[in-house]
Structure 1
């Protein structure tokens, strides 16, 4: 059974998307900007970045995809994110201006199933080439990534969203949600990078050699991240970490850890009293000393659990928005250090 708050949120998203699509056409004629300005950046709230004349216009769904497109596209692309900086992307609802900007792009890169409003918009937008990266990164099911802690056949819920080291894939039916948070696994991020490079080369074959060279450089960065995580998390006193929401399943799988989450895949979902009790039990039974919060959602629930269990709170970024300083790779390195400290790694 899907909770009523989830159904209401889903209906609201579909209504907002329908209104945006209906209004987008009327806005298109008056949305033209002055020569040299960046309509996609304006739609996302980001500061427009001057682009070379004739640059390929690329709209991305949110920051990790934007990072890939910028790193691989280099000077030949003008890349923007549909989701503004410092906005939680899961339930972000596109405005009519956002839909118009999508239609004006040459290429759209996104991950289906992560942002329902964007899925709805892209189903009706014509014009740009649309590439769904979900099919390139081997998405799987993780505990806690069902429909907002949907109850199982016995009426019990998976209170912790625990994800083990072996993949923790489950035999759910086709309608069950896949975990979209692949970008926190540097190996899957490499697969996504290859798909982005292929999409750019197809859309702009004149610069295919440059895209291939940039992919090689990025692959080195991602390989180094994977090596650092493998060695940095190889010898730890604890292997369970507790997070605000179930964003770190792929990372846990890759490096032999177990994630226990307070919320499911959507950080705005409210855990039940039984779920909170189960999280507290995990904290106490595993000797967890740190409960991780994140930048874009309220830390109150995590802080309450920490206060009741004697743990501290620290930030572990799901990297769903651009970091305040540095880039994706820098944020991943910072996350590694937070995990090493929390898990007492050698």
Structure 2
């Protein structure tokens, strides 16, 4: 909790917790580059599931980012359509680890599936008319969300929030905001707000914080949190 997830590395105690568990769920797509090697080192490890298995990935384009982190944007859980597929992968893994509870896991998945479908349809309708289609973010974490709702993402930092953006990059984002009449720039709790605040002043836009569900907040509920995010996006992209 409280650790930038792109920079997390497991301690020996973390590895022991994984070894002693029945199921180990990880996102994949380069989010936990340490996970495959860790699992290989465990002879009698847990049932392991890559939650993003089978999801159509968004490919990264920056050569340095690809070299350091791999080919794909890992933020699949922020797209409701992708989150539903992740949930199915997780439900199947839980059923494999505990076959006697398969029906329980399937019922929970079916409820989540219905909730996600209803939420997605609601916000597709809201965002389809009378809204800007350009979502400007401090960190490129919303590619799958944008794909699900027909939006275009522009960001200050790349998908893995690594390094400082150049003055030319900042100038490009400010120009983009002015060109597309961007009224809201979205940031998040886990990154420094300084850059987005600078851009918002230059572009004449306000700043709104979205929850990327990475900080380990207690009692967080996925559907509730995503509805709150989408409500902020709905208001931030609404055209006057």
TM-score (norm 2): 0.90
Q: CA deviation at 1:119?
A: 4.2
Matched ranges for 1:191-340 at <5 A: 191-323=85-217, 326-340=220-234
Q: CA deviation at 1:149?
A: 8.1
**Paired residue total:** 237
Q: Look up the match of 1:121.
A: 38
Task: Give the superposition deviation at 1:88.
Answer: 2.0
The alpha-carbon deviation at position 124 of structure 1 amounts to: 2.3
SS of equivalent residue, structure 1 residue 341: helix
RMSD between superposed Cα atoms in Å: 2.1
Larger radius of gyration: 1
Question: 1:51-99 deviations in whole A, cap 9, x for unaligned?
Answer: xxxxxxxxxxxxxxxxxxxxxxxxxxxxxxxxx2x32211111111101
Moved more, 117-126 or 213-222: 117-126
> Match of 1:87?
3
1:110 corresponds to which residue? Answer: 26
Return the alpha-carbon distance in structure 2 between the equivalents of residues 306 and 324 of structure 1. 31
When residues 304 and 196 of structure 1 are mapped into structure 2, their CA distance, relative to the original with a 3 A threshold, is same
8 Å CA contact retained: 1:292, 1:314: yes
Moved more, 321-330 or 250-259: 321-330
Do the aligned partners of residues 275 and 133 (structure 1) sit closer, same or farther apart at CA in structure 2, a change above 3 Å counting?
same
Q: Which has the higher helix share?
A: 2
Deviations 1:314-344 (A, max 9, x none): 1022222344664111111111111111111
Deviations 1:152-208 (A, max 9, x none): xxxxxxxxxxxxxxxxxxxxxxx9521111111111111111111111111111111
Is the CA contact 1:142–1:249 (under 8 Å) kept in the aligned structure 2? no
Partners of 2:239 and 2:18 in 1: CA distance: 45
**C-alpha separation between the residues in 1 aligned to 2:12 and 2:70?**
30
What SS class does the counterpart of residue 262 from structure 1 fall into?
strand
SS of 1:105's equivalent in the other structure is coil
TM-score, normalising length from structure 1? 0.64
> Is the alpha carbon distance of 1:345 and 1:186 closer, same or farther for their aligned partners in structure 2, counting shifts above 3 Å?
farther
Contact 1:241–1:260 (CA<8 Å) still a contact in 2?
A: yes
Distance 2:49 2:91 in 1: 11
SS in structure 1 of the partner of residue 5 of structure 2: coil
